[in-house]
Amino acid sequence: MKRIWLAILICLTAQTLAGAPARAEDAGEPSANACNEFRAAATQALARAPSSLQVNVLFFEAARKGCISAIPMLVKVGASRGARDRLSDTALAIAARMGRLAFVKALLGAGADADELNRANAAGSTPLIQAALANRAEVAKLLVEAGARVEAANAQGESALSAAAFNGNAELARIFLDHKGAPDAADATGKSVIVYAAARGAAPIVAMLLDAGVDVNKRYGADLTALMWAAGHADNAPGAQGLATVKLLIARGAKLDLADDRGRTALMIAAGLGHGEIAQALREAGADPALRDKAGKPAADLASGADIQAIVAAP
């Protein structure tokens, strides 16, 4: 019996991995063929009088795949909405993370209570936090409408709002802010929502957070400010977005010559990373190129190339 079940579960898992989306935006509802195959395998498994644990494993697989047509069959033989997998995720949380909108709708429509809606897994992540981290926008919006607690944070201090900022999703950030998302909460690494937005070059989110009262010159981990994070934006943030974010922060009163715990200013950071347009914008706004870091180096000495050096060289 155990061997048969192992073969069935291996088959189901292989189907799940083969059909898993590579990116958040690729997530959608499963094909009819995928769910037909799942139901056939599940029917075979159920014919062997499975234990409640085995039934719930099938329920979790249905959630991963988004096969809503399997829900009645599995619930009829004892699948539990309160059951948790090895990561302490419920079927609702699994479906939310995978972006299975129809499956989440079906579970919510069948009467999810506040406890199920906000139940955290072993990492402290609720279904909403998992959906936001995976950038499952439609699922996240649905969970908020159903009453999910937007202000919740997981064991790492990550919230739905910080996840939206990290992903640069301005639409979700607006929704979360409108539903009690904490605009200046910091995670376990000391990074706040505006830090993630600035590093992502997400100017619209940065503007929302400033409008919500976040101090434009507040210091975060390593004494970095939002301007410093924007000046050294992540590699996957388009340069134009990073520049727009820097200009926004300057316009909103960011102090140009504050230094981090290395003694480096936003200008030094931009120069060191080769962000020429940002370095130029900082110079034009009045950033001081003569300042030196704790090692005694000015921005020109830190510049990644001769072209950047020419921009930041004093005077």
pLDDT digits (tens, 9 = 90+) for 51-84: 999 999 999 999 999 999 999 999 999 999 999 9
> Is residue 194's pLDDT more than 80?
yes
Whether the CA torsion 199, 201, 203, 208 is positive or negative: it is negative
pLDDT, one tens digit per residue, over 200-243 is: 999 999 999 999 999 999 999 999 999 999 999 988 888 899 99
Say what the pTM is. 0.87
In whole angstroms, give the CA distance from residue 122 to residue 186: 20
H helical segments located in the chain: 2-19, 32-46, 52-65, 71-76, 91-98, 101-109, 114-117, 127-133, 137-145, 160-167, 170-178, 193-200, 203-211, 226-231, 239-251, 266-272, 276-285, 299-302, 306-312
pLDDT, one tens digit per residue, over 259-309 is: 999 999 999 999 999 999 999 999 999 999 999 999 999 999 999 999 999
In whole angstroms, give the CA distance from residue 75 to residue 71: 6
pLDDT, residue 11, reads 42
Of residues 20 and 43, more confidently modeled: 43
Residue 291 dihedral angles phi and psi, to the nearest 5°: -65, 150
Looking at residue 276, its amino acid is: G
pLDDT, residue 215, reads 98
pLDDT, residue 6, reads 37
pLDDT, residue 28, reads 59
> Is residue 19's pLDDT more than 70?
no
21 band by pLDDT with thresholds 50, 70 and 90: very low
Whether the CA torsion 60, 169, 223, 236 is positive or negative: it is positive
pLDDT, one tens digit per residue, over 133-187 is: 999 999 999 999 999 999 999 999 999 999 999 999 999 999 999 999 999 999 9
DSSP string across 23-38: SGGG--PPPHHHHHHH
Percent of the chain residues past pLDDT 70, beyond the cut: 91
Average pLDDT, the chain: 90
> Domains in the chain, start-ordered, CATH in brackets?
1-149 (1.25.40.20)
pLDDT, one tens digit per residue, over 80-135 is: 999 999 999 999 999 999 999 999 999 998 777 788 899 999 999 999 999 999 99
> Is residue 8's pLDDT more than 70?
no
